[in-house]
């Protein structure tokens, strides 16, 4: 029963590692496409909208309200502050708190790092268990050889 639970937990960990790797790769791809897009700096206003913090800003005479790209923790400021945001010229509904879209790079790096860490843990766990089984097998062989040699000496 415990071997079954161990195998199921390893499969679940591998599944999560693949999900983290996929999400990290998708965010890294977004970073590569968006970090060089032309951006315009504007002053926005942080407001609450439907229990979410969003930034309200004007760009080319039109008012937008949106959350910054790659801001998972919603820690882009307190309600009522006026931060400088960078508006994507091609897609004005996409804003960034930094000009280089480094939030996407940080998010993708963290996700890929966790995926690699989980993968390494799974690999080295498998390798260590395999080494223990080999050591046990050689130990059992040595004990059997020692017992047979002692019985041969007595005869």
Q: What is the pLDDT of residue 154?
A: 66
According to CATH, what is the number of the domain 37-100? 2.40.50
Distances (CA, A) of 53 to 46, 56, 80, 100: 7, 10, 10, 22
- Residue 96 pairs in a beta bridge with 86
Distance between CA atoms of residues 116 and 28, nearest Å = 15
pLDDT at 74 over 70: no
Specify burial of residue 31 (Cβ count, 10 A radius: 0-12, 13-18, 19+): buried
CA 14 to mean position of chain CA atoms: 13
In this predicted structure, what is the pLDDT of residue 124? Answer: 93
Neighbours of 6 (CB within 10 A): 12
Per-residue pLDDT of 101-123, as tens digits, reads 777 888 899 999 999 999 999 99
Q: Which residues of 118-127 are buried (b: 16+ CB within 10 A; e: fewer)?
A: bbeeeeeeee
Say what the pLDDT of residue 115 is.
Answer: 96
How many whole angstroms separate alpha carbon 121 and alpha carbon 30?
Answer: 28
Q: What share of the chain has pLDDT > 90, as a percent?
A: 34
- Whether the Cβ atoms of residue 47 and residue 53 lie closer than 8 Å to each other: yes
Q: Is the pTM of this model over 0.85?
A: no
Report for 17-31, 44-58, 61-75: range of highest mean pLDDT: 17-31
Mean pLDDT of the chain: 86
**Rounded CA separation 48/42 (Å):** 19
Q: Which residue in 123, 49, 38 sits closest to 86, CA to CA?
A: 38
Write b or e for each residue in 99-116: b if 16 or more Cβ atoms lie within 10 A of its Cβ, otherwise e. eebebbbebbeebbebbe
């Amino acid at each position: 029963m415990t071997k079954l639970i161990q195998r199921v937990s390893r499969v679940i960990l591998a599944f999560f590692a693949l999900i983290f790797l996929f999400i990290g790769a998708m965010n890294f791809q977004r970073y590569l496409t968006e970090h060089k897009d032309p951006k315009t700096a504007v002053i926005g206003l942080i407001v609450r909208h439907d229990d979410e913090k969003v930034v309200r800003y004007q760009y080319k005479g039109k008012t937008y309200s949106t959350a910054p790209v790659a801001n998972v923790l919603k820690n882009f400021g307190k309600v009522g502050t006026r931060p400088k945001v960078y508006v994507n010229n091609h897609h004005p509904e996409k804003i960034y708190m930094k000009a280089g879209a480094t939030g996407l790079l940080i998010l993708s790096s963290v996700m890929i790092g966790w995926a690699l860490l989980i993968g390494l843990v799974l690999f080295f766990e498998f390798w260590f268990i395999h080494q223990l089984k080999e050591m046990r097998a050689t130990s059992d062989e040595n004990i059997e050889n020692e017992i047979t040699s002692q019985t041969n000496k007595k005869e």
